[in-house]
Every structure is written in C-alpha cells, then in structure tokens.
Amino acid sequence: MEIVPFSPELKNVFVELNKAWISAMFKIEPADIEEFSLIEQAIEKGSQIFFALDDNKNVLACCMIRPCENNEWEILKFAAKGMSTGTGAGSACFKACVEYAKQKNADKIIIVSNKKLSQALHIYKKFGFTEVPVDKEKFPFERGDIAFELVLNSKRNMTKSEKISVYETVLPQIESLVSGVEYGISSLANIAAVLHRNLGCFWTGFYVVDGDNLLLGPFQGDAACIKIPKGKGVCGTSWQKGETIVVEDVEQFPGHIACSSLSKSEIVVPVFSATGKITAVLDIDSDCLATFDDTDKLYLEKVVEVLKCYESFV
C-alpha cells in the first residue's frame, strides 16, 4: 500500500468514493455538491487529500484536510472502498492528514461526523481525538451529530504574559514539593510531572549525570534514549557548556538526538548543585517549532535552582 497526495486524475475517484458512502447511509447535501465542485480551488488554498493505493494503483481510501480559522484544520470527506477495506487503508490516509496538519503547525484538528459511522469514530479515538459539542453554525451538514477535536499543542498558543502566569503559579508549587525531600529522584519526578501537566509539551524530564554520561531520569512522555555521552545531542551539549540551550528547530541543531519523530523544538537547562557541579539536565520537547524562548529559559532556570540542595542523583 502507498499513500499519495492529491493529483487531478484522482479527483473523480475521490468524488465517487465519497458519494457512495454518503448516499449509502445518508443523503448527499448541497454542501457536499459544492465541495466536490471546488476541489482544485481547495487544494490551491492549502487543503490536501491523501489516497491509499494498492499495489495495482487502485484507490482503497481517501481523506481530506483543510485549513479553517484560528489555525484550526478540519478533517473531512473520509471514505474507504466499500466503507471499509479491512486493510488499514483508511487509518493510513487519516494518519497522513494528521501528520500534514502537524507539519503545518496546526493548533487543533476538528472533525464532524455521525454516530452511525462506528469504524470512523474508532479511528478518531485511536488517534487521540476527544469528543466535543457539535457547532451547528460552522457545520451545516444534517448528518453531523458528533464532533471531535485533537489539540496539538496548547503551549504554543500562550502569549508571553500567559507563560509568565503559568510559571509564576507552578514555581511556588515546585518549591514546596521539593522542600525537605531528601531523595533527589523523587523531587525530579515531581518537577517533571508538574511541568508536563502545566506546559502541555509532549516530553518533559531529566537526565542525570553519571561519570561521563547522562542517564535517563524521571520523565513524563514516551520512552526515551537511556544514555547520552557528554557533548552529544542537545542535552550533552548543555551539560558540556554549562548553559541553557533553546533549540527552535531540532533539525537545525547538529547532532540532535531524536528520541521521537514528533520532536520539533526543545529546551535543555543544566541543574547545578550548591557546590557548582552539574548534576542533571532538564529537557522539554515540543511537537511545534520555536516553542521555547527567553521567558522559558528565565523561569526554568529558576525551577532547577530548587534542586541545588542535591549533590548527585546517582
């Protein structure tokens, strides 16, 4: 199976696949006819349609994504041959749409669907979409009786003053969580949890210094690489230089270690002990470009100051 973007020769099959499922279960509405007549224009304005092709180049499924207001994108016209191919073709097209919106730095993806479309609803949930009320003004389709959204990154919506307000709230929480705690690892774990919940990034955690390496410490998010030598990656470089590193685009950072393909930008802050030794680094990863700036640097450096009472974490 292969996933390909829109090309004019695929237009008819897109229309036919969609007409087939709509008329099998509902009725074709005027808004559908309008959408089918404006496909090329929609593509020109930034929409995309992904098609799953079998080995003989037959279209198995298709799915469209289009930009809306406020950096929201909508997934629509999701159709599979015979409603379901059982080959994962629908999921694969859907995934291509989600990836496309992420590449475009969308804040949110929205979908309006129908409760009868159980296989499609299953796919939305599998990709982490959550149910929200249907906005009938925005979505005039009669068959629209259930809606979903996927918030891609809440932090990048934050203005400078919102960021400051988040940090001003979490800083005293973190100070009190760490105060009097002897076992440093527990403090790292609690700080990772509080920052992760409040900043909304996809990975928040610590690497602790052990000899010439950083070892994976407490974190929130997906499984990550275990050992980073001094001077390697963003973490090892921050440790070597003894300074915070803000990376706006990880692809532009030579030697960046990609623990997740979602990673787009990153901040790494060294943790100093009272005697001035670096004992760990705090690493936060975002799935959007340029999430972190001087405000994050300023506050995260204050956050890690609460860890100076620990001389080592290993």
Residues 6+ apart with CB under 8 A from 123: 90, 91, 94
The helices-and-strands tally (H runs, E runs) of the chain is 9, 13
The answer to whether the beta carbons of residues 308 and 273 sit under 8 Å apart is yes
112 or 235: CB nearest ligand SME: 235
Nearer Cβ to ligand SME (123/234): 234
Q: How far is the CB of 230 from ligand SME (least distance, A)?
A: 11
Rounded CA-CA distance 227/132 in Å is 41
Residue with Cβ nearer ligand SME (125 or 227): 227
Region of 71-79, 110-118, 232-240, 287-295 interacting with ligand SME (CB under 6 A):
232-240
Question: 6 vs 239, which CB is nearer to ligand SME?
Answer: 239
Those residues with Cβ within 8 angstroms of residue 137's Cβ, 6 or more apart along the chain or in another chain: none
Q: What x/- string results for residues 188 through 227 when contact with ligand SME is judged by CB under 6 A?
A: ---------------x--------------------xx--
Q: How far apart are CA 109 and CA 147, in angstroms?
A: 11
Q: C-beta of 257: minimal distance to ligand SME in Å?
A: 4
C-alpha distances (whole Å) from 260 to each of 89, 171, 225, 305 are: 24, 28, 10, 28
Q: Binding string to ligand SME for residues 272 to 291, with x set by CB under 6 A, is what?
A: -----------x-x------
Which of 82-85's residues contact partners 24+ apart within 8 Å by CB, and which partners? 83/21, 83/24, 83/119, 84/119, 85/52, 85/60, 85/61
- The residue within the footprint of ligand SME, chosen from 195, 228, 271, 307 (CB under 6 A), is 228
Size of the site for ligand SME (CB under 6 A): 14
Sole binder of ligand SME in the list 3, 22, 164, 257 (CB under 6 A) = 257
Backbone φ/ψ region at 198: left (φ over 0), alpha (ψ -120 to 50), beta: alpha
Q: Which residue is nearest to ligand SME (CB)?
A: 233
Interface positions with ligand SME (CB under 6 A): 203, 224-225, 228, 233-235, 256-257, 259, 263, 266, 283, 285
